[in-house]
Structure 1
C-alpha cells in the first residue's frame, strides 16, 4: 500500500529514501468494505487520509433523512473533514466507502511533524490546499450559476472516472438535483449525441 503513496509523492516532490521511510513509519493502513464508514457524523476526525484503492464519498444527512454529497474521492485523492481535524470538533459529515477501499492514515500530530521535518512535504500540502480552494470556488460557482444540464455536463467533463464508478442517485445528490431530473438529463443528452 505504501508503494502507491510513495509513487504519488515522488510524482509531486523529491524525497530522499530517509524521508520516505519517515513518512512510511507514520502511515497506518485502513481497509474499508463497501458501505463501511471511515467517519460518522458526531465523531471527531483526527487524520489525514490518502486513498490507495477504492472510491469514497463525503456527505451530510438533513432532518428529512436526505443525503447531500459534498464530494467523491478515488485513488490518489485525500479525504477527511478539515473542520473537525483543525478545530477538534464533532464532524457534521459522514464518509463511507462506495467500493472496497484502502487508505493510509496519518495522525494530525504525525502529519504536522512531517511538515516540519520535510519542507517539500509542506510545499505539497500547501499546493493541495490551494487547489482544493480553487475546486471549491468552482463548485460553488457552478451550483449557483449553471442549470441542471450544464452541471451534469461539467461534472462528466471534469470527473469522468468518478462518473463511471458512482451510482446515479449519488451523482444527483452531488449535483443538487433529484435522481429523476438526472435521469431525464441523461436521456436528453444521449439523444443529442
Structure 2
C-alpha cells in the first residue's frame, strides 16, 4: 500500500493507537521522508539547526553531547517506535547542542516541523496523540532528573534495567554508564557485585 517498509511501519504505529481514514493516512504518507543511517552515522550534528520530527521505524539512535573535557553525556536512547530529535532547536531555530547518532543501522521517518504542524491542525486525533506523547515524555524527563539527583549509582543502574530491559542488551556498557551519569568503572564494579550475589 505504501512506498517503503519504514513508512508502512510509521503508519501502523499510528493506526495501532488511533483510527485514521485512508485520506488521513495518505496525507501523512505524503509528507514523510525516509532516511537510512549506517551504524555510527549522524542524523544531527552539534551546531546544526534541527528541523524535523523523527520516528525510528527500525534500528537505534542515541542523543548525546560532548563537554569541554571530551566526555560524552547521553541524553536519551531511541529504539524502534521511539521519537527522536532536539525539541529546543526545533522550536527556537537555534543551533543544536546535541548529536544524534545511529547505534545500529537505522531507518528514520522524518517530517518537517511545518508539515507536522499542518498534520496536527488537520487531523485532531493525530494532534491528541502527539500531545499525549509529549506529556509522557515530560513525565519521563522529570522522573529521570529526580533519579539523577536522589538515587545511588546502584539504584540508578537497577532502575535503568527495570525500565529499559530491551535497551540494556543492545547498547555497550559505557553508554549505559553515560546515560545514568556514572563512570564506566563504577558500572563495572556494580555489575561485578551483582554477579557475585
TM-score grouping bracket, smaller chain normalisation:
over 0.9
Match of 1:149 in 2: 154
Number of the residue aligned with 2:134: 129
Residues 1:36 and 2:16 aligned together: no
Question: Where do 1:174-189 residues align within 5 Å?
Answer: 174-189=179-194
Distance 2:39 2:181 in 1: 24
Separation of aligned partners in 2, 1:12 and 1:131: 15
Q: Which residue of 2 aligns with 1:81?
A: 86
Matches within 5 A, 1:67-78: 67-78=72-83
> For residue 56 of structure 2, what is the aligned residue in structure 1?
51
For residue 178 of structure 2, what is the aligned residue in structure 1? 173
Structure 1 residues 70-126: Cα deviation after superposition (integer angstroms, max 9, x where no partner): 000000000000000000000000000000000000000000110010001100110
* Structure 2: gaps spanning 5 or more residues: 1-5
Name 1:110's counterpart in structure 2. Answer: 115
Instruction: Note the C-alpha offset of 1:12.
Output: 1.2
Distance 2:98 2:160 in 1: 22
Structure 1 gap ranges (5+): none
Partner of 1:63: 68
Greater than 3 Å deviation, 4+ residue runs = none
What RMSD in Å do the two structures reach over aligned CA positions?
A: 0.6
2:99 corresponding residue in structure 1: 94
Q: Whole-Å Cα distance in 2 between the matches of residues 11 and 146 of structure 1?
A: 36
SS of equivalent residue, structure 1 residue 56? strand
The normalised TM-score by structure 2 is: 0.96
Deviation at 1:189? 1.2
